[in-house]
Amino acid sequence: MGLFNTILEKLGFGKKDDAPAAAAPAPTSAPVAAPAAPAPVAISEVDVVSKLEALAAANTQKLNWKVSIVNLMKLLGLDSSLDARKTLATELGCPQDKMGDSAKMNMWLHKTVLQKLAENGGNIPKELL
């Protein structure tokens, strides 16, 4: 599993808490029509902002996830070391010219992570994208 998938999981993306449980078929001797396929379920929006704001409020450190990839990763309980950020940047396709400059890489990475969260159904404010 990639580091970005871990970020998605920590923020509650892809959880299917409301999926109906499958019922055991009742024994019968008459032919039974196949059950209708379930209707497609729309991807629900994940309230990323509320989750991160709650984590920031509960944290003893003053972490501003809106401007810092390091703070965002710390809020989620992830390794925010340079090596971890390089791994995430590589996973997300960071241009090689930014990989050699940690400040440029961090800015690219922060913006890209927020964009990817939005693409996956997260409610990221436009001013952060």
pLDDT tens digits for range 61-87: 999 999 999 999 999 999 999 999 999
* Dihedral angle, C-alpha 73, 74, 76, 81, nearest 10 °: 50
pTM for this model (two decimals): 0.75
pLDDT tens digits for range 17-28: 444 444 444 444
Our count of domains for the chain comes to: 1
pLDDT tens digits for range 6-54: 999 999 987 654 444 444 444 445 455 544 544 443 445 889 999 999 9
Asked whether residue 123 is domain-assigned, the answer is yes
State residue 46's pLDDT score. 86
Average pLDDT, the chain: 83
Q: Which domain holds residue 114?
A: 68-129
Asked whether residue 90 is domain-assigned, the answer is yes
